[in-house]
C-alpha cells in the first residue's frame, strides 16, 4: 500500500462519493428552492459515474491508504439499485467503513435492504424537531414525521445512526436544546454543524453562524458535558460527553475553528470530478481517465498526482469578503 500525502503532509484517508446532484429536499443552506426549482438543469443520467467506475476509484483509493468511504449526494437514495453498489464495494474492496448520508425519507423502504447489502451506518440530516421550522428549512414542506420514521427504520434494521443538524442563526438555533434533549434520551449521537459558506447560493454571512462555543454553552447549561479526545486523526467533529453517562454529541466548526491542518478527505462528484476541498472552485476530471483505456495503475497515479499537489486551506484563510466573492462548487453537487 502506498501512503499518499499532500504538500502539507496530510494523508488521503477518506473519500466522499456523490451519487447524484439531485435531492427531494430544497434546503436553504444547500440547494435553495428559488434557484434549484423544477426547471433547474440537473446532470443528465449518462453523465453520472457508473457503479463499475465508482468501484474502480475505490479500489485505487484503497491502495493509497483510504480507509473510509461515505456515499452522499444530493440524496443518494435517489440512485437506482444503491444496495447493489454497497454490496459490490464490500465484495470487491477491503474497505469496511462505508457509510451513507441521507435525509432519511426513503429509509423505511430501503433500510433493511441496505443493511443486508453490508451497510453499517447512516448519517441522517435533520435540522429541527419542530415541524414548522423543519418544513421551512427543507423547502418542500416535508413533515419531520417522515424523517423520524426513517430513523426508526434504520434502527430497526440494525444500522448505526448519527444525526447531522446545520445550525443557522435566525432560522433554527432555538432547536438546539430540543434536538439535544430528544437524541440524548434516545441514545443517538447528534452532531451540530456551523452554517458554512458552501457553494455560492445559500446567502451565507458570518452573522448567520451560531458558533461551536455558543452551541456547547447552550447544551452544557442544561445538560452538563465535557470534551472527549478525538477518536482518530482528522476527525472533524469536536466531541462532548454528557456527564450523566447518557451519551455524547459533537460540533463541526469549520467557520470558527478550522481543521484544515488535519483534513484527510477528498470528494468525488456524481459526474466524476475529484475535489480536494469542500470549498473548492473546480475539480479534477477523473471521469475521462475512467472512460479511457487507462489501467488500474494509471487511475491510481492520477489520484496521487492530484493529492500530492493539494494545498487547500480555505477555512484557515476565510474572511467574510472571500466567502462572498470566491466561487465555490455547490454542496448538492460535491456532497457534504
Which segments are annotated as binding site?
Answer: 16, 23, 27, 29-30, 70, 74, 101, 125, 162, 196, 260, 263, 265-267, 277
* Phi and psi torsions of 70, nearest 5°: -120, 125
Q: Which residues are annotated as a binding site for GTP?
A: 16, 70, 101, 162, 265-267
**Beta strands 97-102 and 237-242: pairing type?**
unpaired
* Phi and psi torsions of 166, nearest 5°: -80, 130
Question: d(Cα 186, Cα 301) in Å, to the nearest integer?
Answer: 46
Alpha helix stretches (DSSP H) within the chain: 51-63, 82-92, 107-117, 131-138, 144-156, 176-186, 212-222, 287-290, 296-308, 314-317, 320-325, 331-334
Q: Which residues are annotated as a binding site for [4Fe-4S] cluster?
A: 23, 27, 30, 260, 263, 277
Cell reading at 327: 466561487
State in Å, rounded, how far the first CA of the chain is from the last one. 28
Question: d(Cα 15, Cα 36) in Å, to the nearest integer?
Answer: 26
Neighbour order of strands in the sheet with 237-242:
225-228, 237-242, 248-252, 189-194, 160-167, 121-125, 97-102, 68-72, 14-18, 265-268, 273-275, 284-285
Q: What is the dihedral of CA 125, 239, 211, 105, to 10 degrees?
A: 0
Question: d(Cα 144, Cα 59) in Å, to the nearest integer?
Answer: 38
**Bridge partners of 125?**
164
Cell reading at 221: 447549561
Q: Which residues are annotated as a binding site for S-adenosyl-L-methionine?
A: 29, 74, 125, 196
Centre a 10 Å sphere on the Cβ of residue 209 and count the other Cβ atoms it contains: 20
DSSP string, 149-180: HHHHHHHHTT-EEEEEEEEBTTTTGGGHHHHH
Amino acid at each position: 500500500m502506498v501512503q499518499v500525502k499532500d504538500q502539507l503532509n496530510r494523508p488521503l484517508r477518506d473519500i466522499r462519493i456523490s451519487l447524484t446532484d439531485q435531492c427531494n429536499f430544497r434546503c436553504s443552506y444547500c440547494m435553495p428552492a428559488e434557484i434549484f426549482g423544477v426547471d433547474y438543469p440537473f446532470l443528465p443520467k449518462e453523465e453520472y459515474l457508473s457503479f463499475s467506475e465508482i468501484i474502480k476509484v475505490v479500489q485505487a483509493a484503497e491502495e493509497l491508504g483510504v480507509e473510509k468511504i461515505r456515499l452522499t449526494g444530493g440524496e443518494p437514495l435517489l440512485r437506482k439499485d444503491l444496495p447493489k453498489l454497497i454490496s459490490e464495494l464490500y465484495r470487491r474492496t477491503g474497505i469496511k467503513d462505508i457509510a451513507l448520508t441521507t435525509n432519511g425519507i426513503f429509509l423505511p423502504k430501503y433500510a433493511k435492504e441496505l443493511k443486508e447489502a453490508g451497510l453499517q451506518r447512516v448519517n441522517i440530516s435533520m435540522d429541527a424537531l419542530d415541524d414548522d421550522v423543519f418544513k421551512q428549512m427543507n423547502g418542500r414542506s416535508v413533515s419531520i414525521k417522515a424523517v423520524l420514521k426513517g430513523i426508526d427504520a434504520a434502527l430497526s434494521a440494525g444500522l448505526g445512526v448519527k444525526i447531522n443538524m446545520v445550525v443557522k442563526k435566525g432560522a433554527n438555533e432555538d432547536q438546539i436544546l430540543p434536538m439535544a434533549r430528544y437524541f440524548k434520551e434516545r441514545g443517538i449521537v447528534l452532531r451540530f454543524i456551523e452554517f458554512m459558506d458552501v457553494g455560492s447560493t445559500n446567502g451565507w454571512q458570518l452573522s448567520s453562524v451560531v458558533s461551536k462555543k455558543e452551541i456547547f454553552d447552550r447544551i452544557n447549561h442544561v445538560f452538563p458535558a465535557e470534551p472527549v479526545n478525538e477518536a482518530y486523526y482528522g476527525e472533524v467533529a469536536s466531541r462532548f460527553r454528557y456527564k450523566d453517562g447518557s451519551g455524547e454529541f459533537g460540533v463541526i466548526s469549520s467557520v470558527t475553528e478550522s481543521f484544515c491542518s488535519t483534513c484527510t478527505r477528498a470528494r468525488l462528484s456524481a459526474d466524476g470530478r475529484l475535489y480536494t476541498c469542500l470549498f473548492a472552485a473546480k475539480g479534477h476530471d477523473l471521469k475521462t481517465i475512467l472512460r479511457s483505456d487507462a489501467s488500474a495503475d494509471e487511475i491510481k497515479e492520477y489520484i496521487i498526482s492530484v493529492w500530492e499537489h493539494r494545498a487547500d486551506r480555505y477555512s484557515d484563510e476565510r474572511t467574510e469578503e472571500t466567502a462572498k466573492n470566491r466561487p465555490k462548487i455547490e454542496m448538492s453537487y460535491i456532497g457534504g
